[in-house]
Amino acid sequence: MNGIIVINKPEGYTSFDVVAIMRRLLNIKKIGHTGTLDPMASGVLPILIGRATKLQSLMPNTQKEYIAKFRLGVTTDTLDITGEILSEQNSNVSMDELSSVLKYFKGDIMQMPPMYSAVQKDGIRLYELARRGISVERKERTVCIHHLEMLNFNEGEQICEILVRCSKGTYIRTLCNDIGTKLGCGAVLTSLIRTKSNSFNLEDSITIDKAKELSEKNMLLSKILPADKLFSMYNRVKITKPQEIRFKNGGGLSINRIKVNSNNHDGDIYRVYNENDIFIGLGKINKIKGELSILCLLELS
Which of the residues are catalytic?
A: 38
DSSP summary character for residue 203 = G
Q: Are 207 and 56 in contact (CB under 8 A)?
A: no
- What is the rounded distance in angstroms from the CA atom of residue 174 to the CA atom of residue 93? 19
DSSP state of 212: H
Q: To 10 degrees, what angle do helices 172-183 and 95-102 make?
A: 120
Phi, psi of 170 (to 5 degrees): -80, 135
C-alpha triplet 20, 22, 24: angle, nearest 5°: 70
Question: No. of H helices and E strands in the chain?
Answer: 6, 18
> What CA–CA distance (Å, rounded) separates 180 from 97?
11
What whole-number distance in Å separates Cα of residue 98 and Cα of residue 109? Answer: 18
For helices 15-26 and 208-216, give the axis angle rounded to 10 degrees: 10
Separation of alpha carbons 227 and 2, rounded Å: 7
CA distance 223 to 202: 14
CB 152, CB 160: distance < 8 Å: yes
Question: Are 173 and 119 in contact, with CB atoms under 8 Å apart?
Answer: no
Q: Are 146 and 196 in contact (CB under 8 A)?
A: no
